[in-house]
Amino acid sequence: MTYRNIHQYLDEAFRDNPNPSDAQVALAKKEYYRIWHREYNRMRRKRLREFTLGFDAKTLSRINQARGTQSVSKYLYGAVHNALDGGKASNLDKQRLVSIHQELVGLIALVEEFGESPQMEDILDRLEALELQIANLYG
């Protein structure tokens, strides 16, 4: 687009008409926004790839049940990201995992305070391995 803003466009559009009517100005603004929006969409299509998805009634019903309070688009974006991330936890699951992780750290601290014995060392090793697995899920 050759114009940096609407004022530059209006100056160019009314170069030969120094005193345009309100209707002419409104029409020129409408044309500017039409040009601007066409250029915006062209640049957006260059930057982003768009896909259209179609779902039958049964699948759409399943999506509506699974999405909860999210919009369909937000749910589908999350499902795609989840699939690409190899099944990593969603934000809601992350909050639950953080809380479980905190409880696990508290248990590890209790086991460490309890004393040293072969059984406690084994329990401690297993708890620490579990802690690492949980941390990898949301980290």
Reported for 26-33, long-range contacts at CB under 8 A and 24+ positions apart, including other chains, are 32/3, 32/6, 33/6
SS3 content of the chain, % helix, strand, coil (to 5): 75, 0, 25
31-50 pLDDT, tens per residue?
A: 999 999 999 999 988 998 88
Q: Letter for the amino acid at 9?
A: Y
Which sequence spans correspond to the domains of the chain?
Answer: 6-47, 52-87, 88-139
Spatial distance between the Cα atoms of 22 and 25, rounded to a whole number of angstroms: 5
- Whole-angstrom Cα distance, residue 24 to residue 126? 77
**Closest by alpha carbon to 87, among 79, 97, 95?**
79
For the stretch 72-128, pLDDT in tens is: 888 888 888 878 877 655 555 667 777 787 888 888 777 777 767 777 777 878 888
Q: How far is CA 79 from CA 66, 68, 71, 109, 114, in A?
A: 10, 13, 12, 37, 44
Distance CA 48, CA 1 (A): 19
pLDDT band at 29 (very low <50, low <70, confident <90, very high): very high
